[in-house]
Amino acid sequence: MKPRNLALAAALLGVSVLALGAAEAKPLKWASAGDALTIDPHGQNEGLTTSVNQHMYESLTERDHAGKLHPLLASSWKVLPDDPTTWEFKLQEGVKFHDGASFTADDVVFSYERAMQPTSDFKGYLTSFEKVSKVDDLTVRIKTKGPNPLLVNNTSSIRIMSKAWAEKNNATKAQDFKNKEENYAVRNANGTGPFVLVSREADVKTVMKRNENYWAKAKVPLEITELTYVPIKQDATRIAALLSGEVDFVQDVPVQDIARLKGDSKLRVTSGPENRTIFFGMDVASKDLKSDNVEGKNPFADKRVRQAMNMALNRGAIQRVVMRGESIPTGIILPPFANGWTKELDAAPAVDVAKAKALLKEAGYENGFSVTLHCSNDRYINDEGICQSAVGMFGQIGVKVNLVSQSKSIHFNLIQKNPPETEFYLVGWGVPTFDSDYVFSYMYHSRTGSQGSWNATGYSDKDVDAQIQTLSKEIDIAKRDATIAKIWAKVKDETIYLPLHHQSLSYGMKSALDIPVDVSNNPKLKMVAFKGS
Amino acid sequence: MLAFVLRRLFQSLIVMLAVALIAFTMFRFVGDPVNQMVGVDTPQEQVAQLRQTLGLDEPVVVQFARYIYNAARLEFGVSYQFRLPVISLLGERAPATLELAFMSALFSLLVGIPMGVYTALRRDSWLAKIFQTVSLVGISLPTFLIGILLIYLFSVTLGWLPSFGRGEVVKLGNWWTTGLLTASGWKALILPSITLGLFQMTLIMRLVRAEMLEVLRTDYIKFARARGLKTRAIHFGHALKNTLVPVITIAGLQLGSIIAFAIITETVFQWPGMGLLFLKAVQQVDIPIMAAYLMLISFLFVTINLIVDLLYALVDPRLRATIGAH
């Protein structure tokens, strides 16, 4: 596993470099709906917080906008040949923190230990870690509880802070709910990243300036001299600010505004798939459904019924009408850039109402049945609209669906309860590890212990469970990939979920910029190069 | 008199408690805060542990009692999203809201009163008719629409004024920030103040107009005319003065609602005040912020009402007599 060098990574990120060495000030104002919750690097594992923090704090590895893993603070890594439970990371030389201190193995050990503490929001990524230890100033070893073939994937989420700085300022722990004393790291930052914090006012703005001593300066364009992040909650106001030129880059363009922005010659819109797939889940295990009108039977337990419903879904129509073209219809609940995805799996069945009706008849539901569908209305792009149109489509084959759509804070509770309080629901799922195992263990594994916590379908197959469990231990990548393919073939045939589409993201910006959509929605603005200047 | 004040204070306390109780029970229906706080992949044990840490596994009555006990000591807890004390979060944002509310109140008085006087005195002029029509717009259009229309006209099309934010602010002392000392701060205040104050302005204009027409018909105005006083002296020295008593009462009472209903204006203009904080808290089910904000607003209303009641007692001799008889 020899990583490519960073220069290649920079080239891969695909931002054209036209202006070199320009000395004038090039500020960039960047807006999106919410604000970073904190700038403590281990305080909150939340999308926007990460988007902002990654510009000041860096991790051992980094994913580019297409989701590919590259070395960052670590220059190379390997599993020790004699011990499959220990990974060794060589660190980048000559890296300096914003305060001038040198980056060493001590900082890595300290940061990982901080991230593993109970107050950290990143401890979930590190449950398989046993110990992180220093070998020498530029070498770190991570010992895991068992063999972990994908450990390096988790290192892109854990950001490194300076040990000396944290100790000096009494910020050795991430901010706690109970602790009223404010942690120094909540409003101050000292990382190795391309931007240095100038000021931060929560909910107003966060100002950063270019790190003139950035260690990887030669490898990235780093043209922005001052980076300002502003939260603008209201869609209309955010777009107005872009149109009037008050902000340069909007990270979340509402679907209804995309066409309009594309028509403006001063602006540019980039789109791409997000790391999130939207799908329906249904209770396949209960003896009888509470919300249906069939006595003593569960129609969803019959595979033919599930296949019929899958055929009834007109994904193309949802894409065209509800999503205004801004989605990618699919037949699998795994985004295209994750390990295990194939074109064949991604294919959805053709819409065939006649065949679906025939299948229902075969299953003994000639006159259809009724059932309640739960849906969120403030979590995914046009989630309520998706459900409304799906209700009509299921109606065409005689399945009468009563729609209950409500806020995410209520909706997700229904799914997570054990036993779940919904029998038919909409949910979206992203894969931060970029590997099928993440989907399997949360969505397909039986709900036991920490496994299958989002599998509200009741689906439980001993063979599948056993295969899923081998994935976290198998070191032979080829063998592991074969198992992944086998599991997908099985669960796709079972039609446990009805996949709809991969959600698509759109960024709006001035035409002098060309920022590609980042699959994790954490745009890396060190890669920005201004055009035509 | 003392007994009256004490009784009113006691009543206010009951109102506050009732508001707190209603707010607290309502929050049970906005969803589960723990779900918002943890990642989708957090193990169930951790979720349960967090719920316990926050005291959310206890019965509502216990949670409520604890809340009241802490609130009495001005302890509103720690925000779930920011993990910072609610009282300091609200404190940081109060200057923005208060400044905006003050400016819109000023705007509504300074524009509303002259418009009201003019429409009363020159009922049939075309300008008065235009004022009347404009005031209909102020009353019938929802605030967010007015805000967005103003943004599209003055920010996007003309490019004169900023569409969001507070501009540059200056720190005064430890906990007050003001936008009134910088040019960009003033510019940023214009659109939100108009948006927020338009309804109040309309209300004041119509009130002044109606009162003025009423007063102009009274006998003492007729006598004044008969005495040959100058029209100007009659209109402004006698008529307007007598019109202003109800106007001041209404304007005072409206100040509370300007602060409370700044939520929408603050959201449209991304004004970093308490309303914006509250709205975000609702979406994230951040109960400590929601509860503290509601308590604060109800405190504001209760206080204003109390002051108004006491002032009435001072001003109106008849009321004082009844109080004394008790």
Tell if the CB–CB gap between B159 and A236 is shorter than 8 Å. Answer: no
| pLDDT reported for residue B100 | 92
| pLDDT reported for residue A30 | 95
pLDDT grade for B319, boundaries at 50, 70 and 90: low
* Buried-state track B4-41, b at ≥16 Cβ within 10 A, e below 16: beeebeeebeebbeebbeebbeebeebbbbbbbbbebb
Q: B31 to chain A nearest CA, in Å?
A: 5
Q: What is the CA radius of gyration of chain A?
A: 24
Percent of chain B with pLDDT over 70: 90
Q: Which chain A residue has its CA at the smallest distance from B85's CA?
A: A180
| pLDDT reported for residue B326 | 47
Tell if the CB–CB gap between A233 and B81 is shorter than 8 Å. Answer: no
pLDDT higher than 60, residue A504:
yes
The Cα A144–Cα A157 span in angstroms is 17
The Cα B159–Cα B194 span in angstroms is 17
pLDDT higher than 70, residue B315:
no
Select from B31, B151, B283 the Cβ nearest to the Cβ of A237. B151
| pLDDT reported for residue B2 | 77
Task: Classify the phi-psi angles of A222: left when phi > 0, otherwise alpha if psi is within -120 to 50, otherwise beta.
Answer: left
Average of per-residue pLDDT across B15-32: 77
Q: Would you say A365 and A294 are in contact if contact means Cβ atoms under 8 Å apart?
A: yes
- Cβ pairs bridging A and B (under 8 Å): 131
Please tell me which residue, B267 or B75, carries the higher pLDDT value: B267
Q: Would you say A465 and A441 are in contact if contact means Cβ atoms under 8 Å apart?
A: no
* Single-letter residue type at A340: G
Please tell me which residue, A119 or A157, carries the higher pLDDT value: A157
Residue A399's beta-bridge partner residues?
A369
Residue A8 parent element (H or E): helix A6-12
Give the B window 264-303 contacts with A, CB below 8 Å: 267-270, 272, 276-277, 279-280, 283, 285
Percent of chain B with pLDDT over 90: 7
pLDDT higher than 50, residue A337:
yes
Q: Which two tokens stand for residue A166?
A: 């944290």
pLDDT grade for A19, boundaries at 50, 70 and 90: very low
Q: B77 to chain A nearest CA, in Å?
A: 8
Q: A240 to chain B nearest CA, in Å?
A: 6
pLDDT grade for A189, boundaries at 50, 70 and 90: very high
Q: Are strands A27-32 and A249-250 parallel, antiparallel or unpaired?
A: parallel
Average of per-residue pLDDT across A441-460: 88
Mean pLDDT of chain A: 89
Q: Cite the beta strand spans of A61-126 per DSSP E.
A: 61-63, 69-71, 74-79, 86-91
Burial of B152 (0-12, 13-18, 19+ CB in 10 A): middle
Tell if the CB–CB gap between B85 and A412 is shorter than 8 Å. Answer: no
| pLDDT reported for residue A491 | 94
pLDDT tens sequence across A70-128: 999 999 999 998 998 999 999 999 999 999 999 999 999 999 999 998 878 888 788 88
Chain B residue numbers with beta carbons less than 8 Å from the beta carbon of A233 are 267, 270, 276, 279-280
Chain A residue numbers with beta carbons less than 8 Å from the beta carbon of B159 are 244-245
pLDDT higher than 80, residue B325:
no
pLDDT higher than 90, residue B316:
no
Select from B44, B166, B267 the Cβ nearest to the Cβ of A453. B44
Tell if the CB–CB gap between B83 and A204 is shorter than 8 Å. Answer: no
Nearest alpha-carbon partner for A235 in A431, A6, A508: A508
Q: Helix H segments across B73-165? A: 86-121, 126-140, 143-150
Tell if the CB–CB gap between A233 and B267 is shorter than 8 Å. Answer: yes
Does B44 touch chain A if contact means CB atoms closer than 8 Å?
yes
Tell if the CB–CB gap between B35 and A412 is shorter than 8 Å. Answer: yes
Select from B30, B39, B83 the Cβ nearest to the Cβ of A175. B83
Q: Which chain B residue has its CA at the smallest distance from A438's CA?
A: B41
pLDDT tens sequence across B157-194: 888 998 888 888 888 877 788 888 888 889 899 999 99
| pLDDT reported for residue A2 | 41
* Single-letter residue type at A358: A
Tell if the CB–CB gap between A237 and B279 is shorter than 8 Å. Answer: no
| pLDDT reported for residue A15 | 42
Tell if the CB–CB gap between A237 and B163 is shorter than 8 Å. Answer: yes
pLDDT tens sequence across A232-252: 988 889 999 999 999 999 998
Tell if the CB–CB gap between B151 and A34 is shorter than 8 Å. Answer: no
pLDDT higher than 50, residue B53:
yes
Q: Which two tokens stand for residue A36?
A: 């970073």
Does B163 touch chain A if contact means CB atoms closer than 8 Å?
yes
Chain B residue numbers with beta carbons less than 8 Å from the beta carbon of A237 are 148, 151, 163-164, 268-270
Tell if the CB–CB gap between A241 and B155 is shorter than 8 Å. Answer: yes
Q: Which chain A residue has its CA at the smallest distance from B166's CA?
A: A204
Average of per-residue pLDDT across A10-38: 66
Name, in order, each residue with C-beta under 8 angstroms of A312's C-beta and a sequence gap of 6 or more: A351, A353, A356, A393, A394, A396, A397, A399
Tell if the CB–CB gap between A204 and B53 is shorter than 8 Å. Answer: no
| pLDDT reported for residue A7 | 46
pLDDT grade for A16, boundaries at 50, 70 and 90: very low
Mean pLDDT of chain B: 82
pLDDT tens sequence across A260-308: 899 999 999 999 888 899 999 999 999 888 888 888 889 999 999 999 9
* 3-class secondary-structure state, position B94: helix
Tell if the CB–CB gap between A413 and B31 is shorter than 8 Å. Answer: yes
Select from A43, A201, A442 the Cβ nearest to the Cβ of B83. A43
pLDDT tens sequence across A249-263: 999 898 888 988 999
| pLDDT reported for residue A18 | 40
pLDDT higher than 60, residue B15:
yes
Task: Classify the phi-psi angles of A368: left when phi > 0, otherwise alpha if psi is within -120 to 50, otherwise beta.
Answer: left
Chain A residue numbers with beta carbons less than 8 Å from the beta carbon of B42 are 124
pLDDT higher than 70, residue A5:
no
Which of A7-11, A164-168, A221-225, B64-68 is predicted with the least confidence, judged by mean pLDDT?
A7-11
| pLDDT reported for residue A22 | 44
- Among B157, B163, B263, B282, most A C-beta atoms within 10 A, so best to mutate, is B163
Select from A201, A202, A450 the Cβ nearest to the Cβ of B43. A450
pLDDT tens sequence across B98-141: 999 999 989 988 998 889 888 988 888 888 888 888 888 878 88
The Cα B310–Cα B312 span in angstroms is 5
Q: B163 to chain A nearest CA, in Å?
A: 6
| pLDDT reported for residue A6 | 45
Q: Is the N-terminal amide bond of A516 cis, ω within 30° of 0?
A: no
